[in-house]
Amino acid sequence: MYRIYHDGVAAIIVDETNHCFCYTSLSKAQQVAKGIEVTISCRPALNQREEFLLELGYKKENFIS
């Protein structure tokens, strides 16, 4: 399953199966959301979300082009 966190401009897409995440634009994240099962949440402080994911052992990767 994927999760998308956004702040209105940028987004973090989280792949919970492979324990990784990447940054992208909100518009690209919305395109991705149309094709997969996903939960979208607004988070005003994406940097805090990134720190939390890193603490949980998630890897920062670039799997969305």
The string of pLDDT tens digits covering residues 6-56 is 999 999 999 999 999 999 999 999 988 888 878 889 988 888 999 999 999
pLDDT attached to residue 38: 87
Cα–Cα distance for residue pair 23/29, rounded to 1 Å: 9
Which is nearest to 16 in space by CA: 33, 28, 4? 4
Residue 9 belongs to some domain of the structure: yes
Residue 24 belongs to some domain of the structure: yes
Residue 65 belongs to some domain of the structure: no
pLDDT attached to residue 32: 87
Range of the domain at 51: 2-60
CB 21 within 8 A of CB 61: yes
What is the domain count for the chain? 1
Its pTM stands at: 0.85
- pLDDT interval class at 60 (50, 70, 90): very high
Cα–Cα distance for residue pair 48/27, rounded to 1 Å: 21
Residue 65 has pLDDT above 70, yes or no: no
